Amino acid sequence: MVGGLMRAWSPAQRASLMTLGIACAFLTAVLYVEWTAPLNAVESAPAAPAASARKPSDEATPRYSMPPLQSFSAVTDRPLFSQSRRPLPEATDDASGPWSSFILAGIVITPDSREALIRHGTPPTISHVHEGQGIEGWIVSSILADRVVLVGGGTQHELRLLAKPQANPPMNGPPRRPGAR
């Protein structure tokens, strides 16, 4: 029956069938070689007994360590999230008191909480504070959308967010479509 079917095919169909048969045989051979070959040479060799008796701490493996903080000076000299890419102004020690070293870095107001990020100290650090929480002897009295009120020693001071300059000035009138007159 197969012989009669093969006679009904054209020579091109028989050549295609022969090519497919050869390709299948070749791929079967490749699969056999892959399945029977060892995974790698390390697994086929027996492990040395001295290597298994060593502790990991005895090995001379290099350990990762952070580079010194000074090597990241380019990051602090040109802050990514500052539009001018200039560092924030450093606090000055004047007669205005220790609260003047505080810089309001951000405010987060949600339905459940009010939080502020305040930069302070030497070296400068950023603290995440809530209303009623203390920071360097000052109590965060209230956190509003544009400022934080600090109370301490019978005095009250406000830290305000710096005004963000507009990237593009507002246009006069609606935008024009290209080609419109």
Q: 134 pLDDT exceeds 70?
A: yes
Q: What would the pLDDT profile of 85-105 be if each residue is shown by its tens digit?
A: 776 665 444 434 566 788 888
Q: Are 120 and 127 in contact (CB under 8 A)?
A: yes
Domain 99-163: CATH class, spelled out: mainly beta
Taking residue 150's Cβ as centre, other Cβ atoms within 10 Å add up to 24
In the chain, where the domains are located: 2-36, 99-163
Q: 26 pLDDT exceeds 90?
A: yes
Does the pTM of the predicted model rise above 0.85?
Answer: no
Position 96 scores a pLDDT of: 44
Q: What is d(CA 119, CA 86) in angstroms, rounded to the nearest whole number?
A: 16
Q: Are 29 and 23 in contact (CB under 8 A)?
A: no
Give the residue with greater pLDDT, 1 vs 12. 12
| pLDDT (mean) for 147-162 | 88
Q: Across all residues in the chain, what is the average pLDDT?
A: 76
Percent of the chain with pLDDT over 70: 65
Q: What would the pLDDT profile of 41-77 be if each residue is shown by its tens digit?
A: 545 555 555 555 555 555 667 777 878 877 877 777 7
Q: What is d(CA 143, CA 113) in angstroms, rounded to the nearest whole number?
A: 10
Q: Which residue stretches of the chain are H helix? A: 2-8, 11-36, 41-44, 49-53, 73-77
